[in-house]
Amino acid sequence: MIAKSSSPRRGQHIEVSILIPVRNGVKYTRVCLASLFESMPTDWTLGQDFEVIVFDDASTDSTSALLAEYEDRITAIVGDGHGWYAHNNNAMAKLASGRWLCMLNNDTILEPGWLEPMLELGESKPGVGVIGNIHVFPNRKTVNHAGVVFNEHRIPRNLYDGLAITTPGIQQDRQLQAAMAACWITPKPLYDQLEGFDEGYRTGSEDVDYCQRVREAGSQVWIAGQSVIVHHGGSTPGRYAHEAINERRFLERWAKTIEVDWRSVGSNEGVNWPCRTVVYRFARAVWRNPLVKVPMGPVMNTAAGVRFRQCIVRRLVNSSS
């Protein structure tokens, strides 16, 4: 692991360190970096108020050439291609100088005003340990994530996935059990105290596990409802290759302490979700049949397969029964 280049070298009072792990996907990274630098608070200075660290885990596309274009604005770390999401984020966190660590996936698009509500919420709630935000799909109309809730099997689900962003009640601050690390901030001292992400996870579930350890340590997980980003989703290499292993590790540790809340959150906030139709329930039963899931699983767990599943789910969830 080699640190290749560095941004204007960092002062003692960096507010936010933005950590971006990448492996290929240069088309996403290009848009992410451009939108990041265009959307930072106008009175902030790179190297004084914020820094950007990118972990390139042996990309085989033109990622290295893209990062070279930003060599005066980022710190780039080159991995050997064998790191998981947890390991690569932990490596970046060790170099970070900020009060807050901002985990950011490279398949995100940022617009002005995304960061400030998260920091404001963090300053207003001294016990906060994680602050996530609202994610919408590239159409900018459909919610992908408004936090993480848990179903009756203690499996995490993205809150309000498939609903219109304009649905009343969605864009409010809320305290939950977990959030998705595709875009969140967490205090660096707390991250260091908890020794970062658990590297036993293989690109998946390390974020919801971290949230449980945050809560176990006496801190809180919040969503900043006025912070909205675009998130393609399902683009992280290897994201679904070890889904069952990651899920089992998470449940062995946390099944007894997780509260089933996927229905109660929407009910308490006056939002009709999950609004699952008869057609949806039938389709889900078919998918869970081993005769279907076993042969189709490898295909549907690719990035393209995940996006196809997301599209079908959104249509079925919101179709009329």
Task: Check whether residue 40 and residue 92 sit in a common domain.
Answer: yes
Query: Does residue 246 contact residue 200 with C-beta atoms inside 8 Å?
Result: no
Structural domain including 154 reads 2-271
Task: Check whether residue 108 and residue 238 sit in a common domain.
Answer: yes
| Helix/strand/coil (H/E/C) assignment for every residue in 92-129 | HHHHCCCCEEEEECCCEECCCCCCHHHHHHHHHCCCEE
Task: Check whether residue 255 and residue 289 sit in a common domain.
Answer: no
Query: Does residue 247 contact residue 166 with C-beta atoms inside 8 Å?
Result: no
Per-residue pLDDT of the chain (321 residues; tens, 9 = 90+): 555 544 444 445 799 999 999 999 999 999 999 999 999 999 999 999 999 999 999 999 999 999 999 999 999 999 998 888 999 999 999 999 999 999 999 999 999 999 999 999 999 998 999 999 999 999 999 999 999 999 999 999 999 999 999 999 999 999 999 999 999 999 999 999 999 999 999 889 999 999 999 999 999 999 999 999 999 986 555 555 678 899 999 999 999 999 999 999 999 999 999 865 555 556 666 656 767 666 766 665 565 665 666 566 555 555 433
SS3 159: coil
DSSP secondary structure code for residue 144 in this structure: E
56 token code pair: 């390139």
Residues 288, 244, 132, 88: what is their CA dihedral angle, to the nearest 10 degrees? -150
Task: Check whether residue 166 and residue 313 sit in a common domain.
Answer: no
Q: Is residue 17 within a helix (H) or strand (E), and if so which, with residue range?
A: strand 16-22
Task: Check whether residue 49 and residue 143 sit in a common domain.
Answer: yes
Angle at 35 between CA 39 and CA 142, to 5 degrees: 95
- The CATH number given to whatever domain includes residue 80 is 3.90.550.10
